[in-house]
Structure 1
Amino acid sequence: MTRSKTGPVLTASDYQHLARELVDADVWDFIEGGAESERTLRANVSAFDRLRLRPRVMTDVSTVDTAVSLFGAGHRTPIGVGPTAYHRLVNPEGEVATARGASAVGALFVVSVFASRSLEDIAAASDGRLWLHLYWFRRREVMTGLIRRAEDAGYTALVLTVDAPRIGRRWRDMRNGFAIGGDVAAVNIDAAVMALTHHSDVGHSAIADHAAQSFDAAVTWADLAWLRSQTRLPIVLKGILTAEDAALAVEHGADGVVVSNHGGRQLDGAVASLEALPEVVDAVAGAIPVLFDGGVRRGTDALVALALGARMVLLGRPPLWGLAAGGADGVEGLLRTTTDELAHAMALAGRPRLADLDRSVLRARPGGEL
């Protein structure tokens, strides 16, 4: 068990406090920060406070099953690792350690296109529960090259971020002149494509400057046909917040969607992910699986998202806290703790299987709505 100076690390917030002591201040701002005044960042967390649980009793909960299957692959937990960049900023082993930690608990790991370890090394450290995350680059050969490598290495799905035609104005990064330094790099992409990420300029974010140069802001729904023609893997669209876009995702052949506002890092003032989840679930009407990220900090948060119709919950910042605090063991501990919290909450709610979770588990606080 990972320990801090004050005792055992038992919760995600414990990992967060320990990681804060170990991570450089500008890197911490890069991880923790959101867009502009960070209203959406805060809303993602506070949205869970508006719902209450309705526990059922006298139900056999001697066995609680948290297993879930997506695209024919099984996972021992519905709590996975969402795509975040440059894990070597907080641990020398980077995504290799994250893969080991996720595999130890049978969790999905969505590997960022900006991973700081090679796709092949990450796959070698994993039990195979890997998806590859992509942005839409102007140079499409960058995307096709990554797709080929992911297929060859055994990744089983693609996750395309669709809410970032340009990067949000992240004031913390701009004030810090944040850039990727030292020997950390997005090693799976040609260095020339990533050059701007290493250029520090106070008042600017190197991440945003690179995106403005490299991301294709002209992409439309029609372009998904090209991506589909490039791969046999399922394609999941990350960044869906409305019923309208959820319906278009189904219409254009997406295999899944992730309800996400990019952790509050894109459009400040955008709806909290949890608030958007019910309308997206209703719009897809079971045609494709709906995944979720945004503000989950404990197992009861995951239960709420699953009860609202998510098939899987992805964590963004928390696995980085675990990685910083204890490497692979920290990632494993963070995911195991959150899954144990979920199983505990399922038992106390009288819902021993994920299939038992639905909106009847929830009640809005007075004046609110599901």
Structure 2
Amino acid sequence: MDDAAPLPTPGAGRIRQNDIYTAGIHGRTPRVPTDFAELERRAHDAMSDRAWAYIAGGAGEGTTMTSNRAALDRWAIVPRVLRDVSVRSLGIELFGRRLPAPVLISPVGAGGLVRRRADVEIGRAAAELGVPYIFSNQGSAPMEDVAAEMDRVRTGAPRWFQLYWSTDDDLVDSFLGRASAVGADAVVVTLDTTMLGWRPQDLNIGSLPFARGEGIDQYTSDPRFREIVAERLRSAVGGDRPEVSLGAIRTLGSIARNAPGRFLRNLTAPEPRASVQTFLDIYSRPSLNWDDLAGLRDRTSLPIVLKGVLHPDDARRAVDAGVDGIVVSNHGGRQVDGAIGSIDALAEIAPAVDGRAKVLVDSGIRTGADVLKALALGADAACIGRPHMYGLALAGADGARDVVANIIAELDLTLGLSGYTAVADLDTDVLRKIG
């Protein structure tokens, strides 16, 4: 809808439905489609080839993306009738904060491909809904700017921070300190991207956003990262003469445009180009292991959530190590082709965790019915990834907000139509496995 959406309230589904139908009386239709297939189709038309490849693409042949949907489709909802469902509650509690719905907005790197300073607009959308936005470590705006916009909309609006574990420990500490300073409720450590997966859609057009300075704003705004770049420049001793080509000139323009400071200065200054190369060299740590994790509790007081867990043994070990939560995720099918669907993994992991830590899930969640299935299988909340980016492509912050508002509205209606009044009451009794 065009006006700022309120926090999800009891009856959120019928309220949103009625708002859309009332607007229809006056000939107005939603700016973002209410079904995922049409949303995806229209977003494809709205995005550049590079944006679509990065946001919508998957690893290898895309079979993990297919598995994510197949895993959800193997579970069918079995509604119950003649129950009073006139009053319903979607509220949950995560890490001491009461949330209006069991939904978070996932981090998506290089969102600037879709909309300049995308993270600020997504933060605004999340704040209007009152649901957490997990700030992307590979964001297109500094976390401080996103937090300020969220607080402008709703003071203290919930936000988390995603951490990619760099090879530079001081940079990790700097990110953690900044996340705490902007009021993050948790730090989400992404474990499944210590290296980029094989992504043919990007490879076929030779497009790596970060090499063009896109999606590295958390780094270029960080004092420790700038120290690393300065140290590298001081120790530089010449080097090979770079190849001059039209593509290289365009890339330089992109780097200059995305770097802090004035565009004309950035075209000739060494720092922007050095920042890109430094990022590519240090952003991830392939050697990351359980020993590294053991020291994380001493480095931050924030709740620690591990993202990318797919095996129940890893989930048990994480809980034994004292983490506060896990995100069952295959990175939206973007890292390993042929991996297990996230919902199939959730069905094994939730019993293994057995309530000792919070369990969230992402990858393949598209609708309110999908969220209900995830909750019934043991998730405490679900994270929305590609859908909100598609809404962003179509209508900016309003589009991202409306896509998530639609998912929450459908969850509310599906909850009641299935015979339940609170998401806390959902369990596998509402589901049947059909394949």
Q: Tell me the TM-score normalized by structure 1.
A: 0.90
Q: For structure 2, list consecutive stretches of 5 or more residues without a partner in the other structure.
A: 3-19, 21-27, 233-246, 252-275
Query: Secondary structure, in 3 states, of the residue corresponding to 1:258?
Result: strand
Q: What are the equivalent positions in structure 2 for 1:172-191 lying under 5 Å apart? A: 172-180=201-209, 184-190=214-220
Mark the CA change 1:221 to 1:347 in structure 2 (over 3 Å): closer, same or farther.
Answer: same
Q: Tell me the TM-score normalized by structure 2.
A: 0.77
1:308 and 1:185 map into 2 onto residues whose CA distance is 34
Please report how far the alpha carbon of residue 213 of structure 1 lies from its aligned counterpart in structure 2 after TM superposition: 5.1
CA deviations 1:195-246 (Å, max 9, x no partner) are: 9xx987xxxxxx9x96675421112112112211111000000011111000
Please report how far the alpha carbon of residue 357 of structure 1 lies from its aligned counterpart in structure 2 after TM superposition: 0.5
1:285 and 1:350 map into 2 onto residues whose CA distance is 25
CA deviations 1:255-290 (Å, max 9, x no partner) are: 100000111111111100010001110111110010
1:135 and 1:80 map into 2 onto residues whose CA distance is 19
Q: What are the equivalent positions in structure 2 for 1:201-240 lying under 5 Å apart? A: 214-240=283-309
Which segment drifts farther, 256-265 or 138-147? 138-147
Matched, 1:275 2:304: no
Task: Determine which structure has the larger helix proportion and give its number.
Answer: 2
Pick aligned residue for 2:379 from 283, 298, 310: 310
Equivalent AA in structure 2 for residue 291 of structure 1: L
Equivalent AA in structure 1 for residue 294 of structure 2: A
2:48 and 2:321 map into 1 onto residues whose CA distance is 43
Pick aligned residue for 2:335 from 266, 274, 277: 266
Mark the CA change 1:362 to 1:102 in structure 2 (over 3 Å): closer, same or farther.
Answer: same
* Contact residue 219 and residue 279 of structure 2 kept, 8 A: no
Please report how far the alpha carbon of residue 327 of structure 1 lies from its aligned counterpart in structure 2 after TM superposition: 1.0
1:310 and 1:211 map into 2 onto residues whose CA distance is 34
Over aligned residue pairs, what C-alpha RMSD do you find?
2.4
Query: Secondary structure, in 3 states, of the residue corresponding to 2:369?
Result: helix
Which segment drifts farther, 305-314 or 46-55? 46-55
2:368 and 2:184 map into 1 onto residues whose CA distance is 27
Equivalent AA in structure 1 for residue 77 of structure 2: L
Pick aligned residue for 1:43 from 67, 90, 95: 67
1:113 and 1:12 map into 2 onto residues whose CA distance is 27
Q: Which runs of 4+ in 1 moved over 3 A?
A: 181-185, 190-195, 209-214
Matched, 1:287 2:316: no
Query: Secondary structure, in 3 states, of the residue corresponding to 1:131?
Result: strand
User: What's 1:204 paired with?
Assistant: none
Matched, 1:160 2:184: no
Q: How many residues of Structure 1 are paired with residues of Structure 2 in the alignment?
A: 356
Which segment drifts farther, 58-67 or 176-185? 176-185
Please report how far the alpha carbon of residue 60 of structure 1 lies from its aligned counterpart in structure 2 after TM superposition: 1.3
1:14 and 1:107 map into 2 onto residues whose CA distance is 24
Please report how far the alpha carbon of residue 87 of structure 1 lies from its aligned counterpart in structure 2 after TM superposition: 2.0
Pick aligned residue for 2:126 from 96, 102, 114: 102
Matched, 1:123 2:147: yes
User: What's 1:28 paired with?
Assistant: 52
User: What's 1:88 paired with?
Assistant: 112
Which segment drifts farther, 283-292 or 134-143? 134-143
User: What's 1:147 paired with?
Assistant: 176
Equivalent AA in structure 2 for residue 117 of structure 1: A
Mark the CA change 1:280 to 1:350 in structure 2 (over 3 Å): closer, same or farther.
Answer: same
Q: For structure 1, list consecutive stretches of 5 or more residues without a partner in the other structure.
A: 201-206
User: What's 2:236 paired with?
Assistant: none
* Contact residue 162 and residue 238 of structure 1 kept, 8 A: yes
2:161 and 2:36 map into 1 onto residues whose CA distance is 25
1:40 and 1:246 map into 2 onto residues whose CA distance is 20
1:309 and 1:211 map into 2 onto residues whose CA distance is 37
Equivalent AA in structure 1 for residue 194 of structure 2: P
Matched, 1:113 2:182: no
Query: Secondary structure, in 3 states, of the residue corresponding to 1:257?
Result: strand
Mark the CA change 1:183 to 1:222 in structure 2 (over 3 Å): closer, same or farther.
Answer: closer
User: What's 1:326 paired with?
Assistant: 395
User: What's 2:264 paired with?
Assistant: none
Matched, 1:14 2:43: no
Which segment drifts farther, 287-296 or 50-59? 50-59
* Contact residue 326 and residue 359 of structure 2 kept, 8 A: yes
1:332 and 1:226 map into 2 onto residues whose CA distance is 37
Equivalent AA in structure 2 for residue 188 of structure 1: Q
Mark the CA change 1:161 to 1:211 in structure 2 (over 3 Å): closer, same or farther.
Answer: farther
Please report how far the alpha carbon of residue 11 of structure 1 lies from its aligned counterpart in structure 2 after TM superposition: 2.6
